[in-house]
Amino acid sequence: MARIVFAGGGTGGHLYPGLAIARALVRARPSVEPFFVGARRGIERAVLPKTEFPHLLLDLHPLYRPAVWKNWRTVLGAASAWRRMDALMTRERPVVVVGTGGYAAGITLAYSVAHHIPIVQQIGDSMPGLTARAFSRWTEEAYLNFPEAARVLRAHHEGSLIDTGMPIEPPPVPRPDRRAARARWGFPLAGGSVLLVYCGSQGSLAVNRLVAEWVGTGLPADLYLIWTTGRATYDQFKHLESDRVRVCDYQSPASNAYAAADVALARSGATTTAELLAWEIPSVLVPLPTAAAGHQTTNAVALERAGAAIHLPQARLTAPLLDETIRGLLANPAELARLTAGAAARARPNAAADIAARILAVIDRHATGAP
């Protein structure tokens, strides 16, 4: 038996990659036993109890920068979490700790470094968060979704910063039939193009309003739309459903939409972009302007520079510009082909299995005392 502690959460981008890696580890070596550490205030509070993995939720708080007088909560939460971490690590004795970002990752990685427990990290964004940067020098291996992240990380040793891609559910092999995927949405089996609008499970009210305005003024005649509004705002836009516009609150499984899409309009979070790349879908990326440290913007810029996407800042986005951008893409097969090739070049659909194999190698090296 080998206990591996995963620490991270707060958002799906920090939690779901850890779950994907954990399941890949169990498939590769059934004696592995993952254990998850998260925060009570994060998405993991709802998700982890429904998984197959044991877990611990800590009472952690962020740094309150504008309201510094509230930071007593942060200090007390960290002190309490450290004591619970001590009890957990003494009982579980993990062979390695995997950090995936967020409050829980910070306290768990700090404890691991102080007690000489090997750590690795999965880093999703092109601009790594504070936790990833702070602990990079002690991280035996860092698994990067964006190789551009290496520029702000301190390598533990040569070769410790590894371009693996993002752990996601890979597209099935063989890929779903495009005609069948279109039929599932009620679209013609051939002709025209399908645009997927996807801004995560919560959606984007700003993007949804612009799409609604665009639909109202008239879509291109040969365009069909799969519009995922997010659960919070679905009721505001469901009345715009038509023969050419399918409005839904969320995609599960997302493969039904990806298999039918010719192009996408999306946010530029790490998981969303990794999935679009894996499915080789040309995309127009509209970063969330309030994302921490502007990481969605750096993600979008990196992918545009790599020839895998078009970056369209939300501050510039209008319904006429959206119409012009999509029409321009659809009228330019060479540009669509360039973006498709760029997406394919950046895709890492087997990242979860690749990362799992590397973590097992780290464990084995420590077990044998190899350098």
pLDDT digits (tens, 9 = 90+) for 242-274: 999 999 998 767 888 999 999 999 999 999 999
The answer on pLDDT for 202 being more than 90 is: no
Identify the band that residue 67 occupies on the pLDDT scale cut at 50, 70 and 90. Answer: low
State yes or no: pLDDT of 145 exceeds 90. Answer: yes
The count of other CB atoms within 10 Å of the CB of residue 358 is: 17
pLDDT, average across residues 125-139:
93
The 10 Å Cβ neighbour count of residue 71 is 14
Q: Residue 109 is which amino acid?
A: L
Q: Per DSSP, what are the bridge partners of residue 225?
A: 195, 245
How many whole angstroms separate alpha carbon 242 and alpha carbon 224?
10
Higher pLDDT, 182 or 43: 182
- Mean pLDDT, rounded, for 23-39: 95
Q: b/e map of 254-276 (b: 16 or more CB within 10 Å)?
A: bbbbbbbbbbbbbbbbbbbbbbb
Cα separation, 62 vs 322, whole angstroms: 36
Instruction: Give the model's confidence band at 66: pLDDT under 50 very low, under 70 low, under 90 confident, else very high.
Output: low
**Is the pLDDT score of 212 beyond 60?**
yes
Helix 12-28, helix 351-368: angle, nearest 10: 60
pLDDT more than 70, % of the chain: 94
DSSP per-residue string spanning 37-66: EEETTSTHHHHGGGSSS-EEEE------SS
Give pLDDT, residue 119.
97
Amino acid identity, position 355: I
Let me know: does 95 contact 75? Beta carbons within 8 Å: no
pLDDT at position 79:
62
Segment among 11-20, 61-70, 301-310 with least mean pLDDT: 61-70
How high is the pLDDT of residue 250?
A: 84
Give the residue carrying structure tokens 């420590």: 366
The DSSP secondary-structure symbol of 150 reads: G
Q: How distant, in Å, are the alpha carbons of 66, 295, 353 from that of 302?
A: 30, 10, 24
H or E segment to which residue 327 belongs: helix 319-330
CA 30 to chain centre: 26
178-346: what fold?
Rossmann fold (3.40.50)
Q: What 3-state class would DSSP assign to 99?
A: strand
DSSP character for 369?
A: T
Whole-number pLDDT of residue 370? 67
Which contiguous run of DSSP H or E holds residue 83? helix 71-92
Residue 216: the pLDDT is: 94
207 with 286: CB under 8 angstroms? yes
Average pLDDT of the chain is: 91
With bands split at pLDDT 50, 70 and 90, how would you rate the model's confidence at 78? low
Q: What is the pLDDT of residues 105-124, one digit of tens each?
A: 999 999 999 999 999 999 99
Instruction: Tell me what pLDDT residue 222 has.
Output: 92
Tell me if 303 sits within 8 A of 285, measured CB to CB: yes
pLDDT of residue 64: 52
Tokens of 178: 């495009």
Averaged pLDDT for residues 2-27: 93
pLDDT grade for 12, boundaries at 50, 70 and 90: confident
Question: Residue ranges of the domains in the chain?
Answer: 2-169+350-368, 178-346
Predicted confidence at residue 44, as pLDDT, reads: 87
Q: Is pLDDT at 235 greater than 60 in this prediction?
A: yes
Residues 6+ apart with CB under 8 A from 200: 12, 230, 267, 269, 272
Is the pLDDT score of 71 beyond 60?
Answer: no
- Write down the pLDDT at residue 65: 59
d(CA 128, CA 141): 15
CATH 3.90.226.10, applies to 2-169+350-368: no
**Model confidence pLDDT, tens digit, residues 319-368:** 999 999 999 999 999 999 999 999 999 999 999 999 999 999 999 999 88
The residues facing 36 across adjacent strands are 6, 55
What is the three-class DSSP state of 275? helix
Helix (H/G/I), strand (E/B), else coil: 303: helix
- Same fold flag, 2-169+350-368 and 178-346: yes
